Amino acid sequence: MAINKKIEEALNEQINAEMYSAYLYLSMGSWFEEKSLTGFAHWFRCQYLEENMHAMKMYNYVNERGGRVVLKPIEGPETEWKTYLDVFQQVAEHEAHVTSLINNLVALSREANDFASESFLMWYVDEQVEEEATADELVSKLKLIGDNPNALLMMDTELGARGASPNVIPIHLNEPVA
């Protein structure tokens, strides 16, 4: 059964929102890279790829349901932040916003009795729990760190060790990916 037009349009909007998330995180990564905090930068590169995957999973789903993916312009993300904590506070706020977008999509699918879309979207519901928890944890850690440079460098090492898909382009091109 072909996908309901209203759901198709809403999923297209969400593909755009996921691409925007990818763009925002790449921009944050670039900000950290300039400060030589390569562990933070690596973490954001991983995050960028994850958001791309969120968009592509939805892209596949729209196609599988006989819909049509229509790509829209991606808004330009912010490029400057005042503090490390500000960056992660924005990540946490952004993820809470994405959760509300996903919840709206689930509600729309229920309204349309589109059980396939509802089931598909449950993956995103679960994913958002993890995304919000991770962002909140990093905000708490940065609050504890305050302006202690040693602790900040330890966090940089920790984030740099994040396991990544082989698709992550390493910060230094001839270095192996973690």
Q: How far apart are CA 119 and CA 129, in angstroms?
A: 16
54 in contact with ligand OFO (CB under 6 A): yes
Helix ranges (DSSP H) in 35-114: 38-64, 84-111
Q: Give the one residue of 21, 27, 38, 89 binding ligand OFO; rule: CB under 6 A.
A: 21
CA 175 to chain centroid: 25
Nearer to ligand OFO, 101 or 171 (CB): 101
131 in contact with ligand OFO (CB under 6 A): yes
109 in contact with ligand OFO (CB under 6 A): no
Q: Give the one residue of 3, 87, 98, 108 binding ligand OFO; rule: CB under 6 A.
A: 98
Q: How far is the CB of 52 from ligand OFO (least distance, A)?
A: 9
End-to-end CA distance of the chain: 43
Nearer to ligand OFO, 5 or 97 (CB): 97
Task: Determine if residue 36 is left, alpha or beta; phi over 0 gives left, psi from -120 to 50 gives alpha, anything else beta.
Answer: left
